[in-house]
Structures are given as structure tokens and as C-alpha cells.
Amino acid sequence: MDFNGIKALDKKYIANTYNRFDRLFTSGKGSELYDEKGKRYIDLSAGIAVNTFGTADPLWLEAVTKQLSSLSHISNLYYTEPQAILAKKLCERTQMKKVFFSNSGAEANECAIKAARKYSHDKYGEGRNTIITLKDSFHGRTITTLSATGQEVFHKDFYPFTEGFIYSDPEDIQGIRKLMEDHKACAVMMELIQGEGGVRVLSKDFVQEVASFAKEKDILVIVDEVQTGNGRTGELYSYMNYDIAPDIISTAKGLAGGLPFGATLFGEKTEAVLSSGSHGSTFGGNPVSAAGAISIIDRLTDTFLDEVVSKGEFIKKELASVPGVVAVTGMGLMLGIETVRPAKEIVERALEEGLVVITAKNKVRLLPPLNISMELLQEAIEILKGVIEV
């Protein structure tokens, strides 16, 4: 079917939730994508931080196809090897104690929220259940994770929401302390780099002060690593840049390198909170996704992560002096560029020039495959400079 035919079917039969860019991608290899006309693009988006090693990476492909052809699904009524091995690797690399597997970021956060509420209920009884999140956060699209999301634009049409979420200004340590005390909080939940909120990096001071105040009051610290996790910021998880020890970590996007997957990790305080029957998922921990995730986690070595850091620094340095760039924020290969031209216009122009980048609020957002070669990255940055320049 030609592109116009596909577009017509999409417009007629698919719910109108996505404002799609006018492109049809048909294949890819590593950090390059191809559209239906065979035009080549450099990919600095990785399917929104999902394709950790790009498209159709050979090692990842081998891991998932091997699992696909032996056991693609069995349900959580039984044991499977990929889940067990992955859980061990995740716990060992994070010092967390246990993990619950799901299929997406929203689900990983739902699980974190349920566990935080149950922790407090088990220990303190009713009435201590508020979760403090941050303004400009993004935690997902279900009613509860939207409720956790501190952005009114996502709320306006969907009331009533799950109760018990209060939003603090990021960086307002006095304010967030007061909210935690006044509202009988059981947890504070934050992205350390707000992704959808515009690639805003929280300061180390704020994060550490929140974590230590919360610890003092036995309020759980939940870090949403859905976007920042799995090597994206140059550490395995972004909290490792902040020297804190979260009680619960949620992750998804890049974890399985391109397959739907989510994970919620529990530390010492929370490892035993979820008990038999208190949570579950039919698809969660799918063996094919888990096999993909093992292959991803294994390749995120310290040496590899150092390269992620230096590629990020290279991009920042290259863009710093470009007229039209106001500021570059972010860490590792999760970067936001504030530009003089509107971000949307830059993304459209980049597509014309064979470069895939996305937006985050008013910024141009870069989330390249973590293994992008320096040659491709240099080529991409030259294109980007051209479309940003004023």
C-alpha cells in the first residue's frame, strides 16, 4: 500500500490521539532510518528513548529471536528463565532487592504508587497516603498516573481523578517539605530529569535534600526512571548521578531495547510490600521482552556509559556557539535544546534534511541510540546546526 493509502486508513480508523509527522518509516539499521521512498535519515530520537541500541541491532535481534522461537509467552503462572536472570542483573546493578515486571512506563508507575500506598497502610494504617510529585512532571496516561502528572494540560478533560496527589514546585525545598508534612505524605515521586516537561535537570542539592528529609520521616522516595533509565544519562539509572538511594524505581522505555516492557524495583524497605495476589499482569515480564532487556543491560558497561557521557558533552560543545541556540539542558544522551526558532519548525526542517529529532515542550529533544557512531553523530549535528541557526 502506498503512503497516501496508509495515511487515509490511519486517519479514518485510528483514534485521533496522535498528531503525526508526515513520514512513513519502513525500516532502519542502527542509528539510520528509511522512509517508503528509500530516503535515509539519521535517528536522534530512538523511538522516544526506546531503541537503546538503535533499530534492528544484531545482538539484540539475536537475543529476542532466539527467545521468540522457543517460548514467546506463557503467563506469570509459571517460572521463566529470562525474568529470573534479568531480575538478578537489575537488582545487582542497583542494590535494589526485588523487581516487578510490567509492560510500560505507566504500569511501572502504577505499581510504584500501589506499593507506596500499601507500605504506609501496612505500617501506619489509614490516612497517610498522599504522594507528592513535581510540577511539569510526566508519569503516564492512565487515570492514576495522569493524576500523578503535575501538568494541568493533561488533566482538564478527565475529571474525576485518583485522589491523593499534590504537586510541588521543583527546586522549592521549603515548599516540598511543608507539603510532605501538611498532607501526611507516604511518598515523593520524581523524575530527576523531567523529560516531557522540557528536559529539566533537577539540582543535586534539591534531590538530596528531598531524599534526606523523606528518609527522616519514613516517606518513600520513588524515582521515575522511565525515560532517564537504562544508560540514557550516562549512568545505568539517573539517580546514580545524585548519590541517593531510592526506595522504589520505575523504568520502561529503553529497558528492552524496542519491545514493550516495564519494571518497578524495590529497595530494602519496600521489597516485601507487594504480597501474593496484591498485584499482577498477564503480559508483564514477557520472556521475549525480558530476553531483549538482558541483552541491553549486559551491554551497558561502565566503559560504554562513559562513551554516552562523552557523546553528550560533544553535542553540548558543538551546539553552544550556534546562533539560534539559547541553551542546552540534559545529561548524557538526553538533551533539550532551547532555540530561537520554534522547536516544532526545527523538527519539521530537520526531517526535510534527513534528521529525526523530537520536541519536549518548547525545546528540541535529542534521544539518540546510545551506540550511535561518532561519524553519524557529527553528520547529524551539522544538519541540526543548519536548521537551528538564525
Ligand X SMILES: *Cc1c(COP(=O)(O)O)cnc(C)c1O
Least distance (Å) from ligand X to the CB of residue 194?
Answer: 8
| Residue whose CB is less far from ligand X, 230 or 388 | 230
Residue type, 292: G
| Residue whose CB is less far from ligand X, 219 or 256 | 256
- Scanning the chain, the segments in alpha helix (DSSP H) are 3-13, 46-49, 58-70, 81-94, 105-124, 143-148, 152-155, 173-182, 204-216, 287-299, 302-320, 343-352, 374-388
Least distance (Å) from ligand X to the CB of residue 140?
Answer: 4
For ligand X, the nearest residue by Cβ is 105
Least distance (Å) from ligand X to the CB of residue 112?
Answer: 10
| Residue whose CB is less far from ligand X, 199 or 308 | 199
| Residue whose CB is less far from ligand X, 67 or 144 | 144
Least distance (Å) from ligand X to the CB of residue 182?
Answer: 26
Taking residue 329's Cβ as centre, other Cβ atoms within 10 Å add up to: 19
| Residue whose CB is less far from ligand X, 112 or 315 | 112
Least distance (Å) from ligand X to the CB of residue 95?
Answer: 22
Q: By CB under 6 A, name the binding residues for ligand X.
A: 104-106, 109, 138-140, 191, 195-196, 224, 226-227, 252-253
Per residue, the 3-state secondary structure of 282-307, as one string, reads CCCCCHHHHHHHHHHHHHCCHHHHHH
Concatenated DSSP letters for 138-203? ---SSHHHHHHSB-HHHHTTSPSPPS-EEEE-TT-HHHHHHHHHHTTEEEEEE-SEETTTTSEEPP
Are 76 and 284 spatial neighbours (Cβ–Cβ below 8 Å)?
yes
3-state secondary structure of 233: coil
Q: Which three cell numbers stand for residue 153?
A: 494540560
| Residue whose CB is less far from ligand X, 118 or 139 | 139
| Residue whose CB is less far from ligand X, 43 or 224 | 224
Say how far apart CA 385 and CA 56 lie, in whole Å: 28
CA angle 141–72–103, rounded 5-degree value: 15
